[in-house]
A and B are shown apart, each in its own frame.
Chain A
Amino acid sequence: MPLSSRHLLGLNGVPREDIELILDTAITFREVLDRPIKKVPTLQGKTIVNLFYENSTRTRISFELAQKRLSADTVNFSTSTSSTKKGETFKDTVRNIEAMKLDMIVVRHESAGVPLYLTKISNANIINAGDGLHEHPTQALLDMYSIKERLGKIEGLKVCIVGDVAHSRVALSNIFGLKTMGAQVSVCGPATMMPLGIEKLGVKVYHDINKAIAENDVLNVLRIQLERNAGSTIPSTREYHNYYGITAERIANYNKEIVILHPGPINRGVEITSEVADGPYQVILDQVTNGVAIRMAVLYLLGTMH
């Protein structure tokens, strides 16, 4: 059974069967990653370009590794948006790349909507690796995979996304994906970090981190962007840490198992302490490995569709 779309632009509207298929397929590739020879010939002869208009070494490396493990040919095109604004337009760049006869494009861009636009001007399969504040579907898929790996299920779990939800594509993709999979999703953070209309998505909003810890099975802790937030949405990172930081003491108060995710990179001592980030409840390093497996699954499922 193939996926219902030949692109992965986001998780909004993606059916449950598709998400399950990706998660199940990733289990196989996760096993491959534990073998001495971590390479399969699945996408041999396919050419994939990683079109990164925003600096994100982690995501790019994860995709690149996934592509190499699948034996695809990989081309990296990384550029800062400031230089493209002056020079070649985005459309021209894509036309040029398109002329190189490639099969898939993995795109990261500062502007929401760019992956959708790509589907209109290119014949390749498009995979969104993060567009503006919009979606980052492979991140949410690997988060769900990591939750399932640890807790055996997603359905019925209570998952809280903590931090600057308003400026997070990770949060939005997680909300869509988790809800589709039957989890109860909530968000926690100061009101200034909550996006407009969030309650209309059927998402509970907490402003009290202790309550969020008490009532949830999983915390997905977002990175606090020092440059963006201090002074405008929070008084200081110190105050944020004091009221919303995930600390061992806070968790200990509730004497329960809780799973801690973090999409990285971590600001230790701000949104999470080292004790928690390196402690028994975290799955943060698993997330990194699982990320490669999820991206292999997505690339494989899209790359072998026709």
Chain B
Amino acid sequence: MQIVLKNVLLINPDQKLNSKSSLLIEDGIIKKIGELEEKEIENCEVINCEGKIAAPGLFDMHVHLREPGREDEETIETGSNAAAAGGFTGIACMPNTSPDIDSAETVRFIIEKSKNHLVDVYPVGAATLGRKGEALAPINELVEAGIVAVSDDGVAIKNAAILRSVLEYCGMFDLPVIDHCEDPTLANGAMNGGLNSTLLGLHGIPTIAEDLIVMRDIMMAEFTGSRVHIAHISSAKSVEMVREAKKKGIKVTAEVAPHHFTFIDDQIKSYDTNYKMNPPLRTKTDLDEIIRGLKDGTIDCIASDHAPHSIEEKEMEFIYAPNGILGLETQLGIALSELVHKKVLTLEQLIEKLSINPRKILNLPVPKFEVGEAANLTIIDPDLVWTVDHSQFKSKSKNSPYDKRLLTGKSVAVINGKKIYMNGKFNNI
């Protein structure tokens, strides 16, 4: 079957491409780029892309799928559906499942379960057995089974000697180590530590809990020569440290979650547990530095930290409610609204942070708009105004602080090889 994207603005900064054109896809392969004659598109499914953009398929490198273990909250399938609905053709899933992704068997289980889906799912292996921070996970085996990074996400790799080993070991495979930077001895709290936590009577997690580990990780990356990726950066100081480290040529990269450039800890005044996440929402100073970091490239990518939780679990007293919110289906809209339409980032820069950089960090090929290449793309309407409605989410969970929020910009279709997702449905092409 042939499909035509008519008059689409093709943007791929990796190819230095930004031009209006038409695209003919046949059996999942790009057959032609350029002017198409009437008779060429006669028998094709034509998608009118006037005013729309095609970007290399978006990629979210920080997703919690909950399978195996908590299939009541999300499964590999529902999470992948949510990813497609949000405009993503690829995701990396975090290892804090039950069991943890610390064996080749679990890696293969996830890859097997996701292989027929439009969305490519790449498991992140646990860095240590059971993410306990005590003994190395069988990283070589996990690499052979198909992981793209290691992480103990949920917690930092707490023991510095183990972190050193993990980094040295992963260096052999050029495998990034993704760290959830938080010193647990300073992190006994339910929100950011500061004036607001004092006013609201909640134990606070101060930014120093993050900064200490970011500093340690940067130094350890320099010492070992291996790659550290800072997950969900949230503090101004941490952004500054990553900036300085990059100047020195240390191999450190960083991601930010949309809530950390959208909200600050004033939101907790409502005690709405949909604003409870880890790292917590910070202050205006932190948010401003994150914006600067996004602008100047200190922060390489945007990743959702999509963390589904059941209503029963999330609708609890604030101090007992679990951390985390959904992100896959709102991330692109938030990023376009908060960053592109507010002139923080250009569309090219956003596409770098939502597609190209995460793939490069994980050593995955970046899709190209080139004849003969497999189609892997996201069609975006940057000006579409829509309202988030969590009852329409493909995700199994509903825990989103963005419900009822008006956003500008949305994915209208994703194509990955012979599969398309459009108008809420998957089809083969």
Chain A residues at the B interface, C-beta cutoff of 8 Å: 12, 81, 85, 89-91, 109-114, 116-117, 131-135, 166, 169, 172, 195-198, 200-201
Which of B206, B316, B319 is within 8 Å of A112, CB to CB? B319
Within 8 A of A (CB), among B291-346: 312, 315-320
| Cα–Cα, bound, A134→B195 (Å) | 12
| Known A117-B271, A196-B204: A111·B195 in contact at CB below 8 Å | no
Q: Across the interface, do A196 and B202 meet the contact criterion of CB distance under 8 Å? A: no
Closest 6 CB pairs of A and B: A134-B201, A113-B271, A197-B195, A111-B317, A112-B201, A133-B201
Contact partners of A166 in chain B: CB under 8 A: 198
Q: How many residues of B contact A (CB 8 A)?
A: 22
Nearest chain B CB to A88 CB, angstrom units: 11
**Can you list 13 pairs linking A and B with CB atoms under 8 Å apart?**
A90-B316, A91-B315, A111-B320, A112-B202, A113-B200, A117-B317, A133-B203, A166-B198, A172-B198, A196-B193, A197-B196, A197-B199, A201-B195
Q: Is B68 an interface residue (CB 8 A)?
A: no
Which of A90, A91, A133 is within 8 Å of B202, CB to CB? A133
Within 8 A of A (CB), among B75-102: none
Nearest chain B CB to A197 CB, angstrom units: 3
B181-205 CB mask vs A (1 if < 8 Å, else 0) is 0000000000001111111111110
Which of A113, A114, A196 is within 8 Å of B195, CB to CB? A196
| Cα–Cα, bound, A113→B197 (Å) | 12
Q: Across the interface, do B271 and A116 meet the contact criterion of CB distance under 8 Å? A: yes
Which of A90, A169, A195, A197 is within 8 Å of B317, CB to CB? A90
Q: Across the interface, do A112 and B194 meet the contact criterion of CB distance under 8 Å? A: no
Contact partners of B202 in chain A: CB under 8 A: 112-113, 132-134
Known: A112-B200, A113-B318. 11 other contacts (CB 8 A): A111-B318, A112-B202, A112-B319, A131-B201, A133-B202, A134-B202, A135-B201, A169-B201, A172-B201, A198-B198, A201-B195
Q: Across the interface, do B317 and A113 meet the contact criterion of CB distance under 8 Å? A: yes
Find the A residue at minimum CB distance from B206: A196
| Cα–Cα, bound, A116→B271 (Å) | 8
Nearest chain A CB to B294 CB, angstrom units: 27
| Cα–Cα, bound, A195→B200 (Å) | 11
Q: Across the interface, do A85 and B320 meet the contact criterion of CB distance under 8 Å? A: yes
Q: Across the interface, do A12 and B198 meet the contact criterion of CB distance under 8 Å? A: no
Q: Across the interface, do B195 and A132 meet the contact criterion of CB distance under 8 Å? A: no
Contact partners of A131 in chain B: CB under 8 A: 201
Chain B residues at the A interface, C-beta cutoff of 8 Å: 193-204, 206, 270-271, 312, 315-320
Which of A91, A110, A134 is within 8 Å of B200, CB to CB? A134
Contact partners of B201 in chain A: CB under 8 A: 112-113, 131-135, 169, 172
Contact partners of A133 in chain B: CB under 8 A: 201-203
Q: Across the interface, do A89 and B312 meet the contact criterion of CB distance under 8 Å? A: yes
Which of B204, B270, B315, B319 is within 8 Å of A110, CB to CB? B319
Nearest chain A CB to B9 CB, angstrom units: 45
Nearest chain A CB to B287 CB, angstrom units: 17
| Cα–Cα, bound, A79→B193 (Å) | 29
Find the B residue at minimum CB distance from A134: B201
Find the A residue at minimum CB distance from B195: A197
| Cα–Cα, bound, A135→B319 (Å) | 15
Nearest chain B CB to A244 CB, angstrom units: 20
Find the A residue at minimum CB distance from B196: A197
Q: Across the interface, do A111 and B198 meet the contact criterion of CB distance under 8 Å? A: no
Which of B270, B312, B319 is within 8 Å of A132, CB to CB? B319
Contact partners of B318 in chain A: CB under 8 A: 111-114
| Cα–Cα, bound, A200→B193 (Å) | 14
Which one of B193, B199, B202, B270 has the greatest number of beta carbons of chain A within 10 Å? B199
| Cα–Cα, bound, A169→B335 (Å) | 39
Which one of B206, B312, B315, B319 has the greatest number of beta carbons of chain A within 10 Å? B319
Contact partners of B193 in chain A: CB under 8 A: 196
Nearest chain A CB to B426 CB, angstrom units: 36
Which of B195, B315, B317 is within 8 Å of A200, CB to CB? B195
Contact partners of A198 in chain B: CB under 8 A: 198
| Known A196-B194, A197-B194, A197-B195: A109·B317 in contact at CB below 8 Å | yes
| Cα–Cα, bound, A166→B199 (Å) | 10
Which of A111, A116, A169, A172 is within 8 Å of B319, CB to CB? A111
Contact partners of A109 in chain B: CB under 8 A: 317
| Cα–Cα, bound, A112→B198 (Å) | 11
| Cα–Cα, bound, A96→B374 (Å) | 58
Contact partners of B320 in chain A: CB under 8 A: 81, 85, 111
Contact partners of B206 in chain A: CB under 8 A: 196
Contact partners of B270 in chain A: CB under 8 A: 116
Nearest chain A CB to B222 CB, angstrom units: 32
| Cα–Cα, bound, A113→B198 (Å) | 13
| Cα–Cα, bound, A208→B196 (Å) | 26
Find the B residue at minimum CB distance from A131: B201
| Cα–Cα, bound, A195→B317 (Å) | 22
| Cα–Cα, bound, A172→B200 (Å) | 9
Contact partners of A116 in chain B: CB under 8 A: 270-271
Contact partners of A196 in chain B: CB under 8 A: 193-195, 197-198, 204, 206
Contact partners of B315 in chain A: CB under 8 A: 89, 91
Find the A residue at minimum CB distance from B315: A91
| Cα–Cα, bound, A116→B202 (Å) | 14
Q: Across the interface, do B271 and A197 meet the contact criterion of CB distance under 8 Å? A: no
| Cα–Cα, bound, A110→B204 (Å) | 15
| Cα–Cα, bound, A131→B202 (Å) | 10
| Cα–Cα, bound, A85→B197 (Å) | 24
| Cα–Cα, bound, A117→B193 (Å) | 22
Q: Across the interface, do B194 and A114 meet the contact criterion of CB distance under 8 Å? A: no
Q: Across the interface, do B199 and A12 meet the contact criterion of CB distance under 8 Å? A: yes
Contact partners of A201 in chain B: CB under 8 A: 195, 198-199
Contact partners of B312 in chain A: CB under 8 A: 89
Nearest chain A CB to B339 CB, angstrom units: 30
| Cα–Cα, bound, A18→B316 (Å) | 31
Nearest chain B CB to A193 CB, angstrom units: 12
Find the B residue at minimum CB distance from A110: B319
Find the A residue at minimum CB distance from B313: A89
| Known A196-B197, A197-B194: A114·B203 in contact at CB below 8 Å | no
Nearest chain B CB to A192 CB, angstrom units: 14
Nearest chain A CB to B130 CB, angstrom units: 24
Find the A residue at minimum CB distance from B270: A116
Find the A residue at minimum CB distance from B321: A111
Contact partners of B204 in chain A: CB under 8 A: 196
